[in-house]
Amino acid sequence: MARHYQKREYFVANHKINFPQVRVLNDQGEMVGVMSSREALGKAQEQEKDLVLITQEASPPVVKIIELSKHKYQQQRKKAKARKKNRAQDIKEIRFTMFMGEGDIEIRKRKIKDFLEEGQKVRLSLMFKGRQISKKEFAYELFGKVINEMVEAELAKLEMEPKITGRKLIAQITPV
């Protein structure tokens, strides 16, 4: 049984910051000045806050006077936002069949609408079985109806025109 452990993130704070000079920021991110680590720690303690190392790659290293818990929360939110942004690039695929009922088409349209409102790209696909490929015009007509409805509702724009690759008809729409 595989276990997934979260990678712990450690923050260097307060007395663990040991540089001769540091660039100090306040909790709004505004520059306070360049001073010794001890002076910066003293300022942080005056304000009853922590001194947190932001980056040590800069010259001099950058520290921030902020509550450690608040800093951890901000970093967590930043990562969650980045993950959400990456997830938005996923393409959702909705499959159709050649001769499907109106009710089934309506359900798929609703699903497409939901995905578009979430900011997801949607790929429409239809697999031809047997001799269905000789009736391509029905498939193009179906895709045309669905795509036009989404474009007219100003939910999507056509990214990839319907085209046949092998035995599959594919089109792609993206949120506006």
Q: What is the largest CA-CA distance in the chain?
A: 81
| Pairwise CA distance, residues 98 & 94, whole Å | 13
Predicted local distance difference test score (pLDDT) of residue 2: 59
For residue 128, is pLDDT > 60? yes
Contact 157, 176 (CB under 8 A): yes
Order of all β-strands in the sheet with 31-35: 31-35, 22-25, 62-66, 50-55
Retrieve residue 87's tokens: 């997830």
- The overall pTM is greater than 0.75: no
Integer-rounded Cα Rg, in Å, for the chain is: 27
pLDDT per residue as tens digits for the range 3-20: 666 677 778 888 888 899
pLDDT band at 28; cut points 50, 70, 90: confident
Q: What is the DSSP string of 22-45?
A: EEEE-TTS-EEEEE-HHHHHHHHH
| Complete domains list, the chain, with CATH | 14-84 (3.10.20.80), 88-175 (3.30.110.10)
- CA within 13 Å, CB half, 91: 13
Least confident of 5-9, 73-77, 142-146, 153-157: 5-9
Predicted local distance difference test score (pLDDT) of residue 16: 87
pLDDT per residue as tens digits for the range 44-79: 999 999 999 998 888 899 999 999 899 889 888 988
